[in-house]
């Protein structure tokens, strides 16, 4: 359906795929170099289309899109326009339940071109919330999962996934909900939940050569997570401790998700991790801490990126996919 790829600008030549929603993000891959991709696929017939600057693909249940907006002018207005276009597309197509946003913007910790006193991430949050309000969407409660990371340069890049089925937002009891952050973090709070749980159960999966049965697929999208307890950054200048605190937060989110599903199907070792590292020299300490908690076989991609707060050295997001055979009485 679509994908997101990470590499530095030198490795992006020729990587674009015609008519395919594929976000190329200017973030160097820290292990192995080259290009690292996340590709989303569907078992159903997929159609590709474009509306304005948005390239998107969709099947009967799900839509994946990518929007690239040149960063010229005030970031608040650029961001508001970008999200307004996305919301208009989703409403028009009937995919009104947003699973996940991936947001990437240049110089996230810098001052805005029009207002040097206001950090660009805070300008982004202003524009994002303005678009949510203008479209009649909630700015608290059941919000999509999301991340927002900084690149060295390039357009405002937003990838998104949405569907026709309502989702279930997950919060972390160790953290204040991001949409409730006090004004010290900006005039508008970030508009996202700590995680989003999506259930898809209307497709038959061939489990054996002779047995065709209905299964329920669940997607757990864990937002960009960092060393924040309550609303405050913890462990300033200590990347190992920040990594440990981040993993504790992710574990708390998984615990909350498993309480919602009542099946205990998600675990730390099942997740696919993407790790955003501010300083490449911190990679050994981050990897060592993750190996200590997760073991040596965890699945992760490490990329260099700026984090939304200047005092954060690492941010980790994660995704899990679970497929469970339904009891016969549930679909008889």
Give the model confidence (pLDDT) of 242-285 as tens digits.
999 999 999 999 999 999 887 778 999 999 999 999 999 999 99
CA-derived radius of gyration, the chain: 19
Q: Tens digits of per-residue pLDDT, 28-73?
A: 999 887 899 999 998 889 999 999 999 999 999 999 999 999 988 8
Q: What is the pLDDT of residue 203?
A: 46
User: Is-catalytic flag, 315?
Assistant: yes
Domain count along the chain: 1
Q: Which is it for strands 2-7 and 22-26: parallel, antiparallel or unpaired?
A: parallel
Closest CA to 68 of 129, 138, 157: 157
pLDDT tens digits for range 181-207: 999 999 999 999 999 999 885 543 433
Q: Is 86 exposed, middle or buried (0-12, 13-18, 19+ CB in 10 A)?
A: buried
Contact 249, 174 (CB under 8 A): yes
φ, ψ at 254 (rounded to 5°):
-60, -40
User: Predicted confidence band at 114 (pLDDT cuts at 50, 70, 90)?
Assistant: low
Q: Is 291 helix (H, G, I), strand (E, B) or coil?
A: helix
Is residue 161 within 8 A of residue 99, CB to CB? The reply is yes
Dist. CA 332–CA 327, nearest whole Å: 9
- Name the residue range of residue 301's domain: 2-330
Residue of 232, 315, 317, 329 marked active site: 315
List the CATH number of the domain containing 17.
Answer: 3.30.1330.40
């Amino acid at each position: 359906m679509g994908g997101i790829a990470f590499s530095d600008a030198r490795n992006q030549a020729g990587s674009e795929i015609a008519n395919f929603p594929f976000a190329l993000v200017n973030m160097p891959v820290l292990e192995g170099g080259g290009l690292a991709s996340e590709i989303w696929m569907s078992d159903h017939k997929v159609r590709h289309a474009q509306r304005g600057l948005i390239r998107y693909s969709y099947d009967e249940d799900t839509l994946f899109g990518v929007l690239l907006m040149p960063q010229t002018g005030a970031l608040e207005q650029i961001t508001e326009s970008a999200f307004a276009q996305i919301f208009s597309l989703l409403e028009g197509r009937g995919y009104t339940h947003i699973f996940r946003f991936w947001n990437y913007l240049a110089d996230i910790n810098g001052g805005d071109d029009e207002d040097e006193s206001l950090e660009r991430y805070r300008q982004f949050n202003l524009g994002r919330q303005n678009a949510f309000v203008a479209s009649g969407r909630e700015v608290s409660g059941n919000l999509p999962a999301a991340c927002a990371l900084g690149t060295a340069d390039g357009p405002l890049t937003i990838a998104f996934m949405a569907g026709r089925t309502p989702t279930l937002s997950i919060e972390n009891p160790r953290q204040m909900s991001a949409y409730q952050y006090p004004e010290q973090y900006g005039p508008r709070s970030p508009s996202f939940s700590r995680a989003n749980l999506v259930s898809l159960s209307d497709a038959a999966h061939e489990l054996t050569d002779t047995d065709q049965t209905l299964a329920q697929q669940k997607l757990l999208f864990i937002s960009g997570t960092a060393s924040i307890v309550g609303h405050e950054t913890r462990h300033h200048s200590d990347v190992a401790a920040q990594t440990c605190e981040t993993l504790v937060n992710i574990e708390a989110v998984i615990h909350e998700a498993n309480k919602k599903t009542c099946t205990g199907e998600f675990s730390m070792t099942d997740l696919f991790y993407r790790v955003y590292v501010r300083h490449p020299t911190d990679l050994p300490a981050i990897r060592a801490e993750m190996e200590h908690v997760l073991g040596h076989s965890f699945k992760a991609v490490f990329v260099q990126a700026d984090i939304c707060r200047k005092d954060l050295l690492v941010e980790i997001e994660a995704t899990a996919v679970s497929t469970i055979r339904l009891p016969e009485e549930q679909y008889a």
